[in-house]
Chain A
Amino acid sequence: MNARTLVSNLLQKKEVSVSVILATTILFFFSIQQKFLSNANVDVLLKISPELGIPALGVTMLMIAGEFDLSVGSVFGLAPMFAAVMMEMGINPWLSILLTLMVCCLIGITHGVITVKAAIPSFITTLGGMLIWRGVSLAVTGGLPKYFYMPPEFMNLVVHRVTTFVYMQELWFFAITIIFFIILERHKFGNWMCSTGGKKEAARAMGINTSMVKIVCFMLSSLTAGFGGIIQSTRLSQAMPNQGDGLEFDAIAAAVIGGSSLFGGSGTVIGTVIGEYLSRIIENGLIIIRAPSYYFRLYIGVVIILAVIANLYIQRKAIGVRG
């Protein structure tokens, strides 16, 4: 194998091609404004990315199994609100978190069962879920934020700064990534997910319970969304009813930028991690280079499209080089 085919084989890996884009983006912002890589800025980026990235991991798993979840932003907001209400009622904070995570699982299972049993697109089920769960948050709070004071032990476990550039939320992010990676690549459930998303009829003919696979993935999506919301509220010490607004699109964008297919059957959680950092860096970089703030959304929209095109282009180019 000569060097050229080696490079080509590497670039065909989705994670590698999106890493190239990530590195280019970092260099771009750094060349315009050196402060982009200052300790203070990198610290902020590393601190806030995980809470938004964890839901993207769950969304990636669900997308690989061939379904969508538009409700993650609303579940991200509902989870800490639910825990805050329970704590107000005098329930132990740890128990409140545990019950909240169980409720998140239940929400995901509900989305899954409705999608599978009623045989409707998950786009519709979770669009409904998005409105319903956001509606619940708003209705319960009357639109006002709630305090979210957690015991110090919990704060240490979830949002503690371990050392320079290392936060507990990052460790959670990487731990969940590793667990999902193992499920996806090294466990039979991952094989079932890929076949369910890739060709459901083929999986079913081989005796795989595709409904169960999908429902479990819906559960993972809601669970990670709720956990991300709890991390954010713990960091900010408050639960806001509009928390996580628009996160569903960020999460899908991170997954797609990372190389997961919108049509299911193919994807990587490591790609999603890189995709997540890429979108956070674009957002942050635009601020650092003082791009006019009213244009943020416009820029990010354009950049997301360009990033996906660039990713596919690099991979196709790599295949072309091989031949």
Chain B
Amino acid sequence: MPENTSIVSMLDIHKWFGKVYALRGVDFTVNSGEVVGLVGDNGAGKSTLMKILAGIYPPDEGKIFFEEREIRFSSPKDAMRLGIETIHQDIALVSLMSIARNIFMGRELERQVGFARLLDLGRMREESVKALSDIGLFITDPDTIVENLSGGERQGVAIARAMYFKTKLLILDEPTNNLSVKESARVLQFIKELREQGISSVFITHNLHHVYPVADKIVVLSHGKNMGLFKKEETSIEHIEEMITAA
């Protein structure tokens, strides 16, 4: 159940890329256990806003609060440490590597062997299978190379990784892009399961029909500005579509 305690809030965020004024004072709030749809046309600033929240870029102006404390990220690692995970569009996983090695990429499990700290591949495999089955994805061989998975399964692996590391807020950048209808349904199911476990998520997309059924609220961006914030009960797909195209 969505509660009204804010997990993250971004206030008056501005970002320039050289002469391009990408974000022009955007506010953005996610409450705990909430699924927020972030929609807007290409170039509206959705991904930029989320990259700031993931610690990839610093904002030029504005404040970010995480669980009521003001924070400043100097790298994606800082954001991950607080429990903000991002599944970036098309770049979440390394396709030539195994599932287990992808899940623990950058956060490998180790054990002491003589005087060296080496990978604990056995535990990485076990934990990977567990992480996958936790989100209802049953893959028995964690040594499977990611390239051999379907698009839906890949998103599943990325989501399982985020879940495994006790994420509080999961940012999904176009998670249903390039997926078949069946695979998209699978990803939407994953997102619903996240909410049931009390994890907040932000779902960036330009496909309203995907986000509308799962989102609690929808934020519309256009040309780097807030165009509106809608509670799902109070709006319809047609209304939001008008907002996006009218701008």
Q: Could you tell me which A residues sit within 8 Å of B by CB distance?
A: 182, 186-188, 190-192, 194-195, 198-199, 201-208, 261, 265-266
Contact of B96 among A201, A204, A205, A265 (CB under 8 A): A265
A205 and B56 form a contact (CB under 8 A): yes
B119 and A201 form a contact (CB under 8 A): no
Some 28 contacts from A to B, beta carbons below 8 A apart, are A186-B119, A187-B116, A187-B117, A187-B118, A188-B110, A188-B119, A191-B101, A191-B108, A191-B119, A192-B106, A195-B106, A198-B94, A199-B94, A201-B88, A202-B91, A203-B105, A203-B106, A205-B92, A206-B76, A206-B106, A207-B80, A207-B106, A207-B107, A208-B106, A265-B94, A265-B96, A265-B97, A266-B96
B107 to chain A: which residues have CB within 8 Å? 206-207
A202 and B88 form a contact (CB under 8 A): yes
In the complex, whether B93 has a CB less than 8 A from a CB of chain A is: yes
Bound CA–CA A52/B95 (angstroms): 32
A182 and B93 form a contact (CB under 8 A): no
A199 and B91 form a contact (CB under 8 A): yes
Chain B residues within 8 Å of chain A by Cβ, number: 27
Contact of A188 among B54, B75, B108 (CB under 8 A): B108
In the complex, whether B200 has a CB less than 8 A from a CB of chain A is: no
Bound CA–CA A190/B98 (angstroms): 13
| Residues 83-117 of chain B, each 1 if its beta carbon lies under 8 Å from chain A, else 0 | 00010100111111100010011111010000011
| Given A206-B76, A207-B76, A207-B80, A194 contacting B94 (CB threshold 8 A) | yes
Which partner residue on chain A sits nearest B113 by CB separation?
Answer: A186
Seed contacts A182-B116, A208-B106; 8 additional CB < 8 Å A-B pairs: A186-B118, A195-B101, A198-B96, A198-B97, A199-B93, A206-B80, A207-B75, A266-B96
In the complex, whether B77 has a CB less than 8 A from a CB of chain A is: yes
Bound CA–CA A182/B113 (angstroms): 12
Which partner residue on chain B sits nearest A190 by CB separation?
Answer: B119
B106 to chain A: which residues have CB within 8 Å? 192, 195, 203, 206-208
Bound CA–CA A194/B106 (angstroms): 11
Which partner residue on chain B sits nearest A187 by CB separation?
Answer: B118
Which partner residue on chain B sits nearest A264 by CB separation?
Answer: B96
A186 and B93 form a contact (CB under 8 A): no
| Given A205-B76, A205-B88, A186 contacting B105 (CB threshold 8 A) | no
Which partner residue on chain B sits nearest A204 by CB separation?
Answer: B76
Within the complex, the shortest CB–CB distance from A8 to chain B, in Å, comes to 15
Which partner residue on chain A sits nearest B161 by CB separation?
Answer: A206
A205 and B75 form a contact (CB under 8 A): no
| Given A188-B119, A191-B119, A199 contacting B95 (CB threshold 8 A) | yes
A195 and B110 form a contact (CB under 8 A): no
B101 to chain A: which residues have CB within 8 Å? 191, 194-195
Bound CA–CA A179/B88 (angstroms): 34
In the complex, whether B121 has a CB less than 8 A from a CB of chain A is: yes
Within the complex, the shortest CB–CB distance from A209 to chain B, in Å, comes to 9
Bound CA–CA A206/B164 (angstroms): 14
Which partner residue on chain B sits nearest A201 by CB separation?
Answer: B91
Q: Select the residue from A182, A186, A199, A265 with max chain B CB neighbours within 10 A.
A: A199
Within the complex, the shortest CB–CB distance from A231 to chain B, in Å, comes to 26
A199 to chain B: which residues have CB within 8 Å? 91, 93-95
A205 to chain B: which residues have CB within 8 Å? 54, 56, 76, 86, 88, 91-92
Which partner residue on chain A sits nearest B93 by CB separation?
Answer: A202
Bound CA–CA A266/B101 (angstroms): 13
B104 to chain A: which residues have CB within 8 Å? 191
B96 to chain A: which residues have CB within 8 Å? 194, 198, 261, 265-266
Bound CA–CA A261/B97 (angstroms): 13
A206 and B118 form a contact (CB under 8 A): no
